[in-house]
Structure 1
Amino acid sequence: MEIFKEFTFDAAHHLPHVPEGHKCKQVHGHTYHLTLFFTGEPDPHLGWIIDFAEIKQCVRPILEQLDHKNLNEVAGLENPTCEHITIWLWQKIKPILPSLSKIQLRETPTSGAIYCGPSK
């Protein structure tokens, strides 16, 4: 079974490696929509894979590092494309919530990235 928990955060960034004249070269912001997916079997006694409150408690401090920040100034996000932000989040969240199976990060309603961890 797969469950999910959604979060949002607001942040600014610019993409330093895009060509001159590209609109993303300038500082701009997004309201990011993050969906975390967890896979497992429901605990026979509790009835859930993981407590949604536990997910929120674990993820909140990580998102506070990004919310209302310039992502280019966050360690490890010097080139904060949606893809790099998704990998950064995975590296922070997976060790503390090992049943994490997938991350979806949308930077606009129609654009985003999905990451399921490193290729084996």
Structure 2
Amino acid sequence: MRIFNEFTFEAAHHLPHIFPDGHINTRLHGHSFRVRVTLEGKPDSRTGLISDLGAVKSAFDSAVEQLDHRYLNEIKGLETPTLENIAMWLWRHFAPALPGLAQVGVYRDTCGEGCEYQGEFEMERTAA
């Protein structure tokens, strides 16, 4: 069984090393991001819960404090803030506090884009 909770944040970023000079995404711009955190497990026989969603909210609040109305490129680990890197950053943020973490989804609904990550791999980090 799976449960989820969602939150949103607003942030600015740019992607200078991915696209050729002059590409629209090399310029500073912002998005409204929606994040869905999914937990998986068996409901506790006494409480009927997989997890207390209050713990999920607490983990969200900590992440939102770091991300909301920020310039993502300045956040350690998000120097290249693609959807993929944001999802992995959030996974690393949530995993210690949320047993049963199954998926982190990051969506830019106005663009019709998103990334869903199950913590299966980490990209190699290379020095810039």
Q: What TM-score, normalized to structure 1?
A: 0.95
- CA RMSD for the aligned pairs? 1.3
Q: Percent identity?
A: 44
- Number of the residue aligned with 1:113: 115
**Residue pairs, 1:88-107, within 5 angstroms:** 88-107=89-108
User: Gaps spanning 5+ residues in structure 1: where?
Assistant: none
User: Gaps spanning 5+ residues in structure 2: where?
Assistant: 122-128
Check the 8 A contact 1:72/1:78 in 2, yes or no: yes
Shift of 1:58: 2.1
- Number of the residue aligned with 1:2: 2
How many residues align? The count is: 120
AA in 1 matched with 2:76: A
- Please state whether the residue corresponding to 1:55 is helix, strand or coil: helix
Check the 8 A contact 1:30/1:108 in 2, yes or no: no
Question: Deviating runs (4+, > 3 A) in structure 1?
Answer: none
Shift of 1:16: 1.3
- Please state whether the residue corresponding to 2:67 is helix, strand or coil: coil
Check the 8 A contact 1:38/1:101 in 2, yes or no: yes
- Number of the residue aligned with 2:32: 31
